[in-house]
Amino acid sequence: MTGAQRAIGGALSLGECAPIEPDDLIGLLPVPVAISHKKAGEQVLLPAEESSTIICIISGWAFSYRLFDDGRRQIINLHLPGNLIGLSTVTRDVSAWGCEAVTDLTYISLCRDAVMAQVRLRPDLALRIVAEAVRGEILLRERLADVARRSARKRVANFLFELYCRSQSVADFAGGQAASIPLTQDKIADAVGLTPIHVSRTLREFKLAGITRYLGHDLQIVDPEQLRRISTFDDAYVQWLKQPSFSVRSASKAGAGGQAAPAGVAASVLSAQRFDASQSGLR
């Protein structure tokens, strides 16, 4: 492993539940390693752009979005360090949505064919990538329930508390201090399917209650426990948000027949399905 691969692997290990581990990079990254950078607000992927790469975030935040004919935008998901973007390229040659940098972003682009070649040889890697796709689906389904059925207050509370929980698994999260969410009111509105006016009113209510405050362009979560009480999340879902697992047993620990026993990922997927089911009903 080269020095650059070791540095990238070390950075990924500090991200949110990164499915790509340092040892995986040997077969995935070219030499020399190409590291990409985007400024906040720059496009990482354009909607329907031809693409055969899977993006892995090293540092910074990004969001994926769908653009409508009338110019409106729906933010699909937020992506933190360690997350993969563009798994849909496994089944199609164009991006299913656009992707924009929320903050200054550093990432690597993994060749789809190289990833698939490694997946054929590494069932543990395949299962971790499957678990990452399941994680994204669960977040998306929860957002769908918010947009379809929940009040403005619940939508905003769920969205902010989700990001608060997820940010705690990132190494640069400042424990004990107010967590910063680098999103404007317009972006929050695009994520939860509300107008900026509705979001502004809700955030004003949260500010008066001492839950949130804006510091520059960053929204700070001052009282996460009060925000949690407003949200619809149960304890199991909150725990999963903070500590989703991608651990699998290595092939060296396989049982008879040489088959790896991916207990960690199996448990993660089953737990994810259980959390998903617990959230699917209206509260």
CATH code assigned at 105:
2.60.120.10
Which DSSP symbol is given to 171?
T
Domain that holds residue 116: 3-122
128 part of a folded domain: no
For residues 113 and 176, state if they share a domain: no
Nearest Cα neighbor of 222 from 184, 266, 267, 177 is 177
Q: Among 224, 241, 258, which residue terminates a domain? A: 241
For residues 102 and 173, state if they share a domain: no
Which DSSP symbol is given to 94?
B
For residues 156 and 117, state if they share a domain: no
State how far the Cα of 277 lies from the Cα of 237, in Å rounded to an integer. 10
127 part of a folded domain: no
**Structure tokens that stand for 168 in this block:** 């705690």
For residues 117 and 8, state if they share a domain: yes
Phi–psi pair at 92, nearest 5 degrees: -150, 155
pLDDT of residue 3: 60
Q: Among 106, 122, 138, which residue terminates a domain? A: 122
pLDDT of residue 51: 84
Over residues 170-186, the pLDDT tens digits come to 755 544 456 899 999 99
pLDDT of residue 149: 93
For residues 117 and 155, state if they share a domain: no
Nearest Cα neighbor of 45 from 26, 67, 27, 24 is 67
For residues 164 and 97, state if they share a domain: no
pLDDT of residue 141: 93
Looking at the 3D structure of the chain, how many domains does it have?
Answer: 2
Over residues 81-127, the pLDDT tens digits come to 989 998 887 788 888 789 999 999 999 998 888 888 888 888 888 88
pLDDT of residue 269: 42
97 part of a folded domain: yes
280 part of a folded domain: no
Does this model's pTM top 0.85? My answer is no
188 part of a folded domain: yes
For residues 108 and 154, state if they share a domain: no
For residues 156 and 211, state if they share a domain: yes
- Domain of 168, CATH number, reads 1.10.10.10
pLDDT truncated to tens, each residue of the chain (283 aa)? 566 666 777 667 667 766 777 777 777 776 567 789 999 999 999 988 888 888 999 999 999 999 999 989 999 999 999 899 988 877 888 887 899 999 999 999 988 888 888 888 888 888 888 888 888 999 999 999 999 999 999 999 999 999 999 988 775 554 445 689 999 999 999 999 999 999 999 999 999 999 999 988 889 999 999 999 999 999 999 998 887 665 544 444 444 344 443 344 444 444 444 444 444 443 4
For residues 114 and 224, state if they share a domain: no
270 part of a folded domain: no
**Helices (DSSP H) in 91-231: which residue ranges?**
112-121, 123-149, 152-167, 185-192, 196-208, 224-230
